Structure 1
Amino acid sequence: MPDHRKLGRELGLFDTDPLIGAGLPYWLPDGAAVRHALEEYVRTVELRAGYRHVYSPVLGKRELYETSGHWSHYGDDMFPPMDLGGEQMVLRPSLCPHHAVMYRSRPHSHRELPLRMAELGGMYRSELSGVLGGLTRVRAIQLNDAHIFCTPEQVGEEVRAALELIRGAHRALGIRPARYRLSLPGPGGKYVAAPGMWERAGALLTDVLDRSGLPYEAADGEAAFYGPKIDVQVADSAGRESTLSTVQIDFHQPERFGLHYIGEDGARHRPVMIHRSIVGSVERAVAHLVEEHGGAFPAWLAPIQVAILPVSQAELPHARELVRRCAAQGLRAEISDPGRGTLGARVREARLVPYQAVVGARETDDDRIALRLRDGRRLDPRPAAEVLARIVAAVGAHDTELWDA
């Protein structure tokens, strides 16, 4: 398995610069295309699953994180506060306090629950320079995050549905989890002191895992400070494990923020807060995808999906028209100019592109495409409209197969 730090730079996906700072990679056009496709996929599946998207600020007052418990339990990983007009402002280490405040801003009835709130938002971790590297350990993180506010009776179904979203995303991305982990508290003082809460939340997650039939391992000392969680672990090129996707049950923050809903009995009840991330941070997800696929991303995720290869300069006008038609149908296409070398050399150069459309004089006259697939298959020339429609369908289905026979 390749190292994403080396291959990601060779492919022109991302890079770093000392003037910007360690742990702060920037995304080049091809990397930005991969990131955008991943983010749009996540937003789409969340919308279909009944989530509503929000935006929240990347800053918050120190008091916000004191209320949530991050300041006392997670302070060593936060950036120091900034003094602004007599107030201390902090770059957020997590999105959940903002979402709790957003839930609290409006009254809620049991009829509205579950309320599923999602955001692709920035957060910041004060990582030591010695542990920073590539996209896996960074200081500025774009997190695919969501919080489900529900009744206690709805918790099991919501956790099960979140796991299904995660498994569906992994299939579309071609990801093979290393293992599922039930992360529980361990010895030490970083956890909220509420034994009954931990026991209740752990039992709920265990029940969902048992019913799902997924193999899992319990791990002490890996829980969030506010509750246990299900972690989906992946391994990098060196065999090191990290968490990609997660589902967590939280009884702590609803109590700290005084969250409630009006039940059928007309009384106030405390909701449960489920934290859920389908792909985790965009940075870590892309790092793993680079290593998993060696740069040969699934077609829907590839930075360039169609390489147009005119045989000679005479076919360049038609090639430009094909690029325009691809763009009009939402495909990312690029011309491989004949001046850059022989057709064979240009085919090898485009070896990571899912679809290579060879256009010679006959194809230009008949508006046809001789398609080469990344897996080595060569298709007979077909009408360009048919070829593009098939590619659009495969990309839109988020299929890992390039072409159905």
Structure 2
Amino acid sequence: MHDHRRLGRELGLFDTDPLMGAGLPYWLPDGATVRHTLEEYVREAERAAGYRHVYSPVLGKRELYEISGHWDHYGEDMFPPMQLGAEQVILRPSLCPHHALIYRSRSRSHRELPLRMAEVGGMYRSELSGVLGGLTRVRAIQLNDAHIFCTLDQAVEEARAALALIGRAYADLGIRASRYRLSLPGEGGKYVAGPGLWSRATALLREVLDGSGVAYEEAEGEAAFYGPKIDVQIADRAGREATLSTIQIDFHQPERFDLHYIGADGAKHRPVMVHRSVIGSVERAVAHLIEEHGGAFPAWLAPVQLVVLPVSQAQEEAAAELVRGASGAGLRAEVSGEGTLGARIRAARLVPYQAVIGAREAADGLAALRLRDGRRPGALPAGELLRRIGERVAARGTGLWA
């Protein structure tokens, strides 16, 4: 079984330092490449699905979270306020209050809806040290988050489209959902009042799940404090389950922030707020990917996609030329020239593509291609080799060769 904490350090993806603190890992160059590629992938997928991206600050005044309900219902998981003159500011535990403020920053028409607002942004949770672990549970979280402001009639279709977007991302990443969960409120004061709003939101989410044809279970006590949600669950090799992706339909925060749009009738109407996250926190997503693939990431996500192996020093210039061509084509490539060829091939076992250049290949402008899965397509002209790898990378997914 792969443990992402051990493997992530062995592969030089991330690490921690006591002076930074528990639950605050830092990303090393290869890990930063995986993270950046993952973030750009989800931004691209969102742009294609009609989302517009924003940036919002990681701090907010205490009053903001009093309005949203986080202060009363989520305060134990928030960092304490910082005093700035007469004001108190807090590291945000969620992005949704900021997006609500962006929505209400100007008048909105029904013609603008659905308005899909997305951000890959930081948020902070005051997690107890006993529950922290590697990238799975951290205190500084980079969240792939989005909020769709729409009419009531649009809410089910928007949530269903978000569920389909999650499914496509899982296919490209090689992730399998262990189950789908409809998370409902439980007993106690954790949840905001308003049984009518809860029942309406729950009915809409059931309609989304039923219409999508996925099997799901209901779980009380797992809802967000402001509304029910669809949780897409993943499991590690030991069977431990965690939530990666979520979809929520929220009537509470539009009311708390007095959000509205001007309808076709010229009157003000309250929008519905659909929260959704395709890959959840980047940290948890990468942790799961490390364990799921044992460090052998899909080719488009791998920190190094092509390693070029000259058989001897005489082929080093040909190898360097191939790497320059690969870099110009947008591929992440490097030369490996130290040690025996066998040792270098073994060291690059997790790299999707290995190109060996001997004397014959160098003379003919070829490279002998080896795939990570053991297949050997053979000697190919450099241009064709780079074109075919580029096409496979651009196609995303988990396949190595067409």
TM-score by length of 1: 0.98
Cross-structure match for 1:353? 351
Cross-structure match for 1:55? 55
Cross-structure match for 2:93? 93
Q: Distance in 2 between matches of 1:140 and 1:266?
A: 44
Cross-structure match for 1:379? 377
Shift of 1:232: 0.4
Shift of 1:256: 0.3
Superposed, 1:6-405 pairs within 5 Å as 6-337=6-337, 340-404=338-402
Q: Distance in 1 between matches of 2:388 and 2:183?
A: 43
Quick check: 150-159 or 356-365, which moved more?
356-365
Q: Distance in 2 between matches of 1:36 and 1:396?
A: 16
**Runs of 4+ off more than 4 Å:** none
Shift of 1:164: 0.6
TM-score by length of 2: 0.99
Shift of 1:399: 2.4
Q: Distance in 1 between matches of 2:258 and 2:11?
A: 49
Q: Distance in 2 between matches of 1:130 and 1:193?
A: 31
Q: Distance in 2 between matches of 1:399 and 1:82?
A: 45
Deviations 1:77-123 (A, max 9, x none): 00000000110000000000000000000111001000000000000
Q: Distance in 2 between matches of 1:294 and 1:167?
A: 22
Deviations 1:185-240 (A, max 9, x none): 11111001110001000000001111111011011100000000100000123321
Contact 2:174/2:397 (CA < 8 Å) preserved in 1? no
Shift of 1:17: 0.3
Deviations 1:131-180 (A, max 9, x none): 11100110000000000000000001101100010000000000011100
Q: Distance in 2 between matches of 1:262 and 1:83?
A: 39
Q: Distance in 2 between matches of 1:378 and 1:187?
A: 59
How many residue pairs get aligned? The number is 402
Q: Distance in 2 between matches of 1:400 and 1:240?
A: 24
- Between the aligned residues of both structures, percent identity stands at 76
Q: Distance in 1 between matches of 2:357 and 2:187?
A: 65
Q: Distance in 2 between matches of 1:73 and 1:99?
A: 19
Read off the aligned partner of 1:41 and give its amino acid letter: Y
Q: Distance in 1 between matches of 2:8 and 2:195?
A: 45
SS of 2:223's partner is coil
Q: Distance in 1 between matches of 2:367 and 2:150?
A: 52
Shift of 1:243: 0.4
SS of 1:400's partner is coil
Q: Distance in 1 between matches of 2:324 and 2:261?
A: 52
Matched, 1:5 2:5: yes
Q: Distance in 1 between matches of 2:241 and 2:377?
A: 40
Quick check: 342-351 or 139-148, which moved more?
342-351
Shift of 1:321: 1.3
Read off the aligned partner of 2:355 and give its amino acid letter: A
Shift of 1:68: 0.3
Q: Distance in 1 between matches of 2:377 and 2:267?
A: 67
Shift of 1:397: 1.0
Q: Distance in 2 between matches of 1:367 and 1:274?
A: 54
Q: Distance in 1 between matches of 2:200 and 2:356?
A: 61
For structure 1, the residue ranges without an aligned partner over 5 or more in a row are: none
Shift of 1:266: 0.6
Q: Distance in 2 between matches of 1:266 and 1:381?
A: 68
Read off the aligned partner of 2:222 and give its amino acid letter: E
Read off the aligned partner of 2:371 and give its amino acid letter: L
Shift of 1:322: 1.2
SS of 1:381's partner is strand
Q: Distance in 2 between matches of 1:312 and 1:23?
A: 45
Read off the aligned partner of 2:399 and give its amino acid letter: E
Q: Distance in 1 between matches of 2:333 and 2:395?
A: 18
